[in-house]
Structure 1
């Protein structure tokens, strides 16, 4: 199970509205800038713990900014 950003442009805009760049935001929530970049480019999904930190810091509901990905154990593929 993981969380994927729905709309990266919205998240980037919200980070900028907080007066931070991507590096500052990632440090504030306790992840590396490279991991944050991978999340925003949809190359990596994040854990529930990281998704909560991102949503809380942005003042957003998780359902508004993330898609929940659930693994299909029979095919070993992620379903959206």
Structure 2
């Protein structure tokens, strides 16, 4: 089952705080993705873009634009539990 996101908040230093439907809350460090995926570097170089993170209608993906997205299962698996 793909985890569905209940709440999402961008935090300083390129962290996302994500709450899932099952109650699990994680902090996900997007900096690691920025180091490995070229399109993610826009999150650092375009002022204010990171804070414009959105949740897709299915609640299984977060995105910033048509080139930068992050599936909920990745966040669920690799985020640090709070």
Band the TM-score falls in, shorter-chain normalisation: 0.3 to 0.5
Q: Which has the larger radius of gyration?
A: 1
Q: In proportion to residue count, which structure has more helix?
A: 1
Q: Which has the higher strand share?
A: 2
User: What's the TM-score, normalizing by structure 2?
Assistant: 0.33
Q: Which has the higher contact order (CA 8 A, sep 6+)?
A: 1
